Amino acid sequence: MEGALTARDRVGIQDFVLLDTHTSETAFLGNLKKRFSEDLIYTYIGTLLVSVNPYKELDIYSKKQMDIYMGVNFFELPPHIYALADNAYHTMMTEANNHFILISGESGAGKTEASKKILQYYAVSCPSTTLLDSVRDRMLVSNPVRFVNSGPGLVSSSLRLIDHMFTLQGDAVGGHILSYLLEKSRVVHQNHGERNFHIFYQLVEGGEEDLLHQLGLESNCQHYSYLVQDECANVTSINDKNDWKTVRNALSVIDFDESDIQHLFGIIASVLHLGNVQFEADSKGYATLNKNTELRWVSTVSLVIPWTLRMPKPWRPQSAYTLLTLLDHAIYARNALAKAIYGRTFTWLVNKINDSMENKEPSRKTVIGLLDIYGFEVFYVNSFEQFCINYCNEKLQQLFIQLTLKSEQEEYEAEGIGWEPVQFFNNKIICDLVEEKHRGIISVLDEECLRPGEATDFTFLEKLEEKMGSHPHFITHKFSDKKTRKTLDRGNFRLLHYAGEVTYGVVGKGSHGLSLLWTIIHVYLTDKLLGDSTTDPRPSSLLGLTDILMSKEPWYVRCLKSNESKQPGRFDDVLVRHQVKYLGLMEHLRVRRAGFAYRRRYELFLQRYKPLCPATWPHWRGVAAEGVEALVQHLGYLPDEYKMGRTKIFIRHPRTLFATEDAFEVCKHKLGKATKIETCWRGVQARKEKERRQWAVKVIKKFIKGYMTRGEAKTTDNSEYLAFVRQNYLNRLKDNLPKTVLDKSSWLTPPPVLTEASAILRQLHMRLMVTRYVRGITAQQKAQLQLKGITSVIFKGKKDSYPQSVSQPFVDTRISEQDINMKVLQIIRNERIKYSIPVVKYDRNGFKARPRQLILTQTAAYVVDEAKIKQKALEHVGDLVIQCDHLFEVLTKLSVVANKQSAINVVQGR
């Protein structure tokens, strides 16, 4: 929704709740007109959808459009009938509860079209199976069969609730129609610019010749008085012949057999014939028939009416015309009979359709009801039926405001926002004026019709004046001022409805008794509107309907006519203003704007406006609510301009949102420039990547070909492959060369083509390691190696412990001079000590172990015991048996000092 705010000066605002001057009717109409001029026929008031009939085809109902709106947040996309249908469906699925969509407006405002669009949307969006397809097909095709109250651009003052049943998985499994307040008066009388129900014209203009002959009809609407009252029999935008074919096909789809169809057409024909029955007054004022032709056709056709449609005895043609002898009463009776026949046909038809769409699934179901009702209206002459319709709208307006307030209050409470009670006009006072027991208009009419003695129009009016003469919403000629009396006849009364004043006629022309029309219909009204709430809670009564609606979650579609002449592109301000008033749109807007104009979930608000705050751009890693708080603080929102709910931010004034949106638009342009640069750079990088990949493909192809021909004669391909193999091997070898001269096994195995070169390289590398090793040896290490070399000559291969012992480093001496007795040092003071070590000497006799010190000098080896030298080892070598821990070290040192390496003899195993 916010996306369209930048163009609000040109295309208006998508949600009336965001109108800054929301109490101005002029501003409301201006926004509606601005959007209409751009072919934007849908506008929201919160979740209420306002639809203005454009009277032309718009490319906004395609399958592609349906896909766009499936599963999308209600305010995420521009207003559309699909958005409302989708959100009602998904809310039903999520919450597993029942919903209804109330579609209201004048005839020609597009109510039927709105219903059809919703049905089509569900037909596409619901899961598809053979059973479900059959159910959906019957729902869709049943719409043209509802000819009894259909008529695009025509008066269709009925109230109809169509329940569409879904499983908890969202599958459509059936439907049911409840009908209220069929406008039967349209059968016999049409207001200016209207024509009768479509089915009459479709039968006459499109019916087959044999069928028309059988029914006694002619293929010319001008021959039937019920069809030509306002010279609207032929309308250029309606093709009755094509519509007749559609109806015939639809009847077959919803299981009407040929007998039912014949009965149905016979009844329709009987109504047309009945309308042509004419009376003349004789000298005494009694009504007589001038000819019996049409009446005979009525009698003939009535023979095919099935028993379910037959009229009760008092209304058979013969009794009706013999009992009522006055001319005006005879005309009343004729018209009443026509309307009664048509009304019963309507009931029968609805029952047949319900049977065909009956739900066969035993599992639990949820429901979305489509409530189609003609809106409040004021005509030049307002009949009793118009009184019923306006009263019905009065009740629904009361329900509408109650549910809207309830919804608003529940959202505020759910979000933890303080709720302030909203003052609004409560039309309960008007509803009570009509329906209150023993005091209301219905009760007075009921009493007058049933009381003994002769009741007349004037006694009825006098009774009304007596009961409610002081009521502020009831006016008659007797209780009005001089100015009002000029516009109010003595036989009328006026009600001040919520949508305006309406004058209703009570006195019939030339009537001495209570007007026949009021007398006949008062029972119908009591049954259909009020029912008996104590003993007979009929679901078909208006009270029953109210209970049904109160148990469901509401969605609203308000349809408006843009002009009376049905011309595309024309917006009649006066006409639209009138509809806005009686549909209660300003009242609904005022209720929605009682607190905060705008509310949105934290995640969505932050996602859109996060570029406006450095702390939230480009990513906010914390809790969304905290990010929104940081954002609005950065934008400088004042404390009274917003509230933080549990899941949503509430903004009080539209101007606050507009300022935020304008700032976002400026920021978006800057981001757009940066994005453009980024896009160009990514394009350059992508082109480079493409070139690199193309090069890689060529190299890989050549590599594979070289591999496959590597053993063949030298070619360009295999030469490059072999060069790659060589280079790759050398690169790997470079990273895996042996680190020491002792490492003899870690040389990488070469490919066959490099076997010889690998051997040469290995030899060179070994020489290099040796050279580097030698150059790095110290004098001390060199001396060690020389000693180790002597040790190797003496012991290698001769002593089992050689591998372990040779790795141990030799030391210069094992005994320091401080540990040698001073007397010994004096004795050998002229000789330089080369090495000394503790040893154990064993005696020749008994091999007694005696601890001694072995000292090697330049000239001799001494075995020392405390203060004296026991033996001079080099002179008496054969006499000594000595044990020491560092044998290899001692003998190596001894051989070096004595310079007699060959004199040491190693015996294996000893």
DSSP tag of 809: P
DSSP tag of 376: P
* ∠ Cα 888 894 895 (to 5°): 90
Q: What pLDDT is recorded for position 342?
A: 86
Q: Which CATH number applies to 806-898: 1.10.260.40, 2.30.29.30, 3.40.718.10, 1.20.120.1730?
A: 2.30.29.30
- Of the chain, the percentage scoring pLDDT greater than 70 comes to 81
Distance from CA of residue 14 to its chain's centroid? 19
Any bridge partners for residue 366, and if so which? 166
Q: What pLDDT is recorded for position 170?
A: 62
- Kindly provide the b/e burial profile for residues 189-216, where b requires at least 16 CB atoms within 10 angstroms of the residue's own CB: bbbebbbbbbbbbbbbbbbeeebbebbb
Of all helices (H) and strands (E), which one includes residue 443? Answer: helix 441-450
* Band of residue 61 on the pLDDT scale cut at 50, 70, 90: very high
Q: What pLDDT is recorded for position 332?
A: 79
Residue reference for tokens 């009740």: 395
Whole-model pTM: value is: 0.63
Any bridge partners for residue 835, and if so which? 856
Q: Does the structure show a pLDDT above 70 at 169?
A: no
Q: What pLDDT is recorded for position 744?
A: 83
Q: What does the pLDDT average to over 468-481?
A: 87
Average pLDDT, the chain: 80
* Band of residue 31 on the pLDDT scale cut at 50, 70, 90: very high
Q: What pLDDT is recorded for position 422?
A: 72
Any bridge partners for residue 49, and if so which? 44, 557
Considering only the top CATH level, what class is 392-530? Answer: mainly alpha
Q: What pLDDT is recorded for position 252?
A: 76
**Predicted confidence (pLDDT) per residue in 222-275, tens digit:** 888 888 876 666 766 678 888 888 888 878 777 778 888 888 888 888 888 888
Binding residues for ATP, by number, are: 105-112
**Predicted confidence (pLDDT) per residue in 546-598, tens digit:** 777 777 888 899 999 999 888 899 999 999 998 898 888 888 888 888 778 88
Q: What does the pLDDT average to over 199-204?
A: 89
**Predicted confidence (pLDDT) per residue in 839-895, tens digit:** 998 887 778 888 988 999 988 888 888 667 766 655 445 567 888 888 889 999 988
Distance, in Å, from the CA atom of 232 to the CA atom of 200, rounded to the nearest integer, reads: 13
**Counting runs of H as helices and runs of E as strands, what totals does the chain give?**
32, 20
**Predicted confidence (pLDDT) per residue in 425-435, tens digit:** 778 888 888 88
Q: Does the structure show a pLDDT above 60 at 1?
A: no
**From-to residues of CATH 1.20.58.530 in the chain:** 392-530
Most confident of the following: 520-534, 590-604, 621-635: 621-635
Closest among 396, 321, 306 to 351, alpha carbons compared: 306
**From-to residues of CATH 2.30.29.30 in the chain:** 806-898
Q: Does the structure show a pLDDT above 80 at 136?
A: no
Is CATH 3.40.605.10 the classification given to domain 598-671? no
DSSP tag of 147: G
Using only C-alpha atoms, what is the Rg of the chain? 54
Binding residues, by number, are: 105-112
- Kindly provide the b/e burial profile for residues 227-239, where b requires at least 16 CB atoms within 10 angstroms of the residue's own CB: bbbeebbeeeebe
* Band of residue 317 on the pLDDT scale cut at 50, 70, 90: very low
Closest among 41, 85, 102, 44 to 585, alpha carbons compared: 44
Distance from CA of residue 687 to its chain's centroid? 38
Q: Does the structure show a pLDDT above 90 at 95?
A: no
Closest among 726, 728, 706, 723 to 715, alpha carbons compared: 706
Q: What pLDDT is recorded for position 50?
A: 96
Closest among 591, 589, 586 to 424, alpha carbons compared: 591
CB 736 within 8 A of CB 748: yes
Q: What pLDDT is recorded for position 150?
A: 44
DSSP 193-260: T----HHHHHHHHHS-HHHHHHHT--S-GGG-GGG-TTS-S--TT--HHHHHHHHHHHHHHTT--HHH
Any bridge partners for residue 230, and if so which? none
Q: Burial-class residue 588 by CB neighbours within 10 Å (0-12, 13-18, 19+).
A: buried
Q: Any idea which of 64-78, 182-196, 260-274 has the lowest mean pLDDT?
A: 182-196
Q: What pLDDT is recorded for position 653?
A: 85
**Predicted confidence (pLDDT) per residue in 728-780, tens digit:** 999 999 999 998 888 888 899 999 888 999 999 999 999 999 998 888 888 88
Q: What pLDDT is recorded for position 308?
A: 40
